[in-house]
Structure formats: C-alpha cells, structure tokens
C-alpha cells in the first residue's frame, strides 16, 4: 500500500498521520485547532474572561465557545474560576490560561519536530 492510501477506514492519507507521541498529540489538539488558539490568545492578552466575553472577542457563538473551553480544560491548559455574583443565583466563571502548561505543549511540538537535536536532521 502506498502512502496516499487510507488505513483502517481512516480518511486521512498516511503521510498526514505521523506517528506522534501522546504529548505531541495533546499539543496539536490544544494549539492546532483555530478556535482553541483564538481563545488561548485572547485569554493571554486580556486576562481572565467569561465565556460570553470570549465569544464576543473571538466572534464565535457561546455554545461553540463552551465546547472549546471544556476541551481546553480537559487538556489541562485553562482553569475556570467561579465569579461571586451579588445575587448568588448566577453561576459564572472566568477562564485563565495555565501558561506553564501551554509553554510545555509548544516545547513538546518542538521536540517532536526535532528541535534541539544535535547534528543534521534525518532525511
């Protein structure tokens, strides 16, 4: 089978499915998805933000933002902090980026790409 054929009903060509470490896969899931990247970028630039404010800033509906926030929380790159509301009835959160974790994800991608290797990259 050549590299352009699919394997096990996977629609992506083999050449586009590199054998990645779990760390690199997690990094790509976090940083390689445009909405995730936009959310992280806004949170880093503007500090803690609510879901509604994030939706306004990245111009994506709140339901989509909520799905991405949940993914980013599961991936361990953001945290949700409850906001104390004066009436005590609403349950809102502000989201913050765990900068150290994001830095580690970028490092994981670099390692996977071969950055920091001594000698020429393999051909």
pLDDT tens, residue order, the chain (123 aa): 444 444 456 665 666 666 778 888 878 877 888 999 999 999 999 989 999 999 999 999 999 999 999 999 998 999 999 998 777 776 789 999 999 999 998 888 888 888 876 655 554
Token duo for residue 119 = 């000698």
- Cβ density class 102-113: b for 16+ within 10 Å, e for less: bebbeebbeebe
> Is residue 50 within a helix (H) or strand (E), and if so which, with residue range?
strand 49-50
pTM assigned to the model: 0.73
Q: Are 72 and 119 in contact (CB under 8 A)?
A: no
């Amino acid at each position: 089978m050549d590299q352009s054929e699919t394997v096990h009903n996977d629609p992506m060509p083999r050449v586009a499915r590199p054998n990645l470490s779990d760390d690199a896969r997690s990094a790509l899931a976090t940083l390689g998805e445009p909405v995730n990247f936009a959310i992280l970028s806004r949170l880093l630039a503007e500090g803690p933000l609510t879901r509604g404010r994030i939706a306004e800033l990245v111009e994506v509906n709140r339901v989509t933002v909520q799905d991405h926030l949940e993914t980013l929380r599961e991936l361990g790159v953001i945290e949700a902090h409850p906001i104390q509301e004066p009436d005590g009835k609403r349950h809102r959160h502000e989201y913050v980026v765990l900068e150290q974790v994001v830095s580690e994800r970028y490092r994981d991608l670099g390692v996977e790409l071969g950055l920091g290797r001594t000698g020429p990259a393999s051909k």
